Chain A
Amino acid sequence: MRSNLGFFSDEKFRSIFFQTLVVGLFALGLFFVISTTSYNLEKRNIATGWSFLQNPAGFDISFSPFLEFKSTDTHLKVYFVGVLNTLLVSITGCIAATILGFILGIVRLSSNWLLSRLVYIYVEFSRNVPLLLQIILWYSILIQLPRVKQSLQVLDVFYISNRGLYSPRPIFESGFSYVSIAIVLALISSFLINRWAKKRQDKTGQQFPVFSSSIGLIFIVPLILFFILGSPLSFEHPELKGFNFKGGLVIRPEFIAMFLALSIYTAAFISEIVRAGIMSVSKGQREASAAIGLKQTWIMRLIIIPQALRVIVPPLTSQYLNLTKNSSLGIAVGYADLVHGFGGISLNQTGQAIECMAIVMATYLSISLTISFFMNIYNRSIQFKEK
């Protein structure tokens, strides 16, 4: 049997043969797709190339907190507005989901049966209902809020209505840059103090009040500077004019719905991850730290959490990735993110589906890779180091 197959039974030859076959088939398929696509595009009179990016968009974007957007701006600008909006909701969502998830994960392990059951019910409900449904539900709650004229007033400066949350817009005057420089300097120096204090404690065992000195540096020093410079910050309050508010900072209901749904949904997953992480730390660790007389809060902070983090961080990374990808669901409520703004409206207006989708996919891929990259660095820094 061997003989009539000849050199085909040679492993090396077979490997090269199959790989060439696969590459050949792939190239053939690619050639077929490209040729039919270019034929189809020509027949349907769809332009190709990247020049459409410079054309005026011709539509308005209702929510663009970082860039001023007019309908005469280009599709390229639509893209940048979309990326910024995607990043805005992803980053705020990740932060909120992490905080809420850690709190819920710890509460879930509370010795109080009622409290832990309550968190369990919350987790099961928000994990098992589709995120899109939750986004739409939040949005439908928000747009049923009172109209602008009857808007709810909170603390005399915030107005909540079905058009969103209106708050005073901070206006930074000339001297404010010194204050921000002071804040940055304070952050850097408290980071350095933290490192120095750690080194000193390792060497001599003496402790330094890092926390209170950092608080003092970050908050008190800029605050004093702020008043010395004559409070160079004023607020522009929103005012009701006609049918809508003028001025002030507005947070649209689309953003609030996305933010709430994303963070509440992801927090449920994170709380389960945190719970599993804390439970993975063996009971002996807790007992040993109690035996040497550590306080309960210290046991958590110094013994349990650092060990739990090793288990928590890898799945946490994938939750951040999921949240970022899920932010693309903003299209369902009209949140002008990357998919809705550039991949939706721009695509429909220019008809250049291939270019638009390629850009959108490439952007998501690079955001995902960036998150993985930084989380991998963080993960390496908290892993168990053998000295």
Chain B
Amino acid sequence: MNEMNEVRKPPVATTGIIGWLRINLFFNWTNSLITLFVIYCLYQFIPWILDWTIFSADFKYNYLGEQITNQEMCSRNLDPENGGACWAVIYVRFYQFIYGFYPKVEVWRVNLAYVMLAFALLPLLYAKLPYRKYFLYFTYIFPVIAYFLLNGGLGFTEVSTNKWGGLLVTLVLGCTGIALAFPIGIMLALGRRSKLPVISMMCTLFIEFIRGVPLITLLFFGMVMLPLFLPEGIDMDGLVRVLVAVTLFQSAYMAEVIRGGLQAIPPGQYEAAKSLGMSYWRMNLLIILPQAIRISIPPIVNTSIGLFKDTTLVIIVGILDLLGIGRGTLADTNWLGLSYEIYFFVSLVFFIFTFGMSRYSLYLEKKLKTGINMGAD
């Protein structure tokens, strides 16, 4: 009886850092082998990429301390053994990447428009903003202000759109496309679900046609065919023609997303609205659409990400967006052969915008889920 019980060893750690490592990286021998292999690959790759992008790279001066003005002065062209990326091309051409060929004296207008865009987006992105109502009024009039600010008129000197370029064009196309496609998409979605057979058929045909053809054919349509359809004397601006194509394209996708939201609304909502004697438009505007749009916000953001990436296609019809400026720079003999630097930079800019949007859509999805649960409780 006095005999002591055998002392049991404590169990192998399943908590803490060691436990985490055991479970996630070294669970069994295949797992450990994979982990070691991946670590080895990263060990080979990461120092090289860091060296190329940062440690051996030129930002403004090359390794001799000279300010870089063309590709021959890049360290990697002077000393191919040691030089890394030559970011000086971005530094020198930064103005073009952000504003295109916008006149330098007028560039404050673009800067102001960028700042105002941020303020206009704020109430849309953040629902708990104090004084959100007043911010929203600003959002509604922002497109008008931005039009006069960027294009000219009302006392501002006119800057023709063929001087616009770079991030400016990318943002103008993306934001206008999304903003215009939203109401058109709602109309198309309502039209497709309409009980009137002619309207429903026409909307369905339009949506399926646009979704069945690539955006590039619509851009060609806007560029080559639209001028033929319009009477003489109406000369449409190149950017406007592209905008028409982009908006048509986006509105069809938006319509399908919103239709998904409409389908999720239980029929009881329609019946309740009708029993209160509401007309079709009152029912949709006050009861159905607010709910349908609320649930379709995450997919709306997702199609918007798609559109934002697809705006790069305009370079094929000769509009110089961010990628177009990049390609233009590469065609310049001063900066020949710096394709990796330029494409890396353009990718990074797009990545920041689209990754930001996708994170935002995830955040919304989570918020909406909890919102619905609270409603059910």
Contacts and interface: CB of A to CB of B under 8 A. Distances in A.
A129 B217 CA distance: 22
A339 B217 contact: yes
A136 interface: yes
A133 B347 contact: yes
A130 B216 contact: no
B174 to A, nearest CB: 11
Interface stretch (A158-166, A214-222, A358-366): A358-366
Contacts of A19: 196-199
Interface string B312-343: 11011000000100010000000000011001
Given A26-B202, A40-B228, A329-B313, A128 B354 contact: yes
A132 B215 CA distance: 12
B213 A364 contact: yes
Residue among B196, B212, B230, B231 facing the most chain A CB atoms (10 A cut-off): B212
Question: A interface, by DSSP: helix, strand, loop or mixed?
Answer: helix
Contacts, number: 143
B343 A136 contact: yes
A177 interface: no
B35 interface: yes
B316 to A, nearest CB: 6
A328 B225 contact: no
Interface in A249-280: none
A369 B212 contact: yes
Interface residues of B, number: 52
A46 to B, nearest CB: 8
B310 interface: yes
A343 B196 contact: no
Contacts of B195: 15
A133 B312 contact: yes
A301 B290 CA distance: 44
Contacts of B350: 128-130, 133
A113 B38 CA distance: 11
Interface string A337-373: 0010001000100000110010011001100110000
A365 B206 CA distance: 12
Contacts of A130: 309-310, 312, 323, 350
Interface string B222-237: 0011011111100000
26 contacts: A18-B199, A19-B197, A39-B231, A112-B35, A113-B24, A114-B25, A128-B355, A129-B309, A129-B347, A130-B312, A132-B313, A133-B312, A133-B343, A133-B347, A133-B350, A137-B343, A328-B217, A329-B313, A332-B315, A339-B220, A353-B228, A360-B217, A364-B213, A364-B214, A365-B213, A368-B212
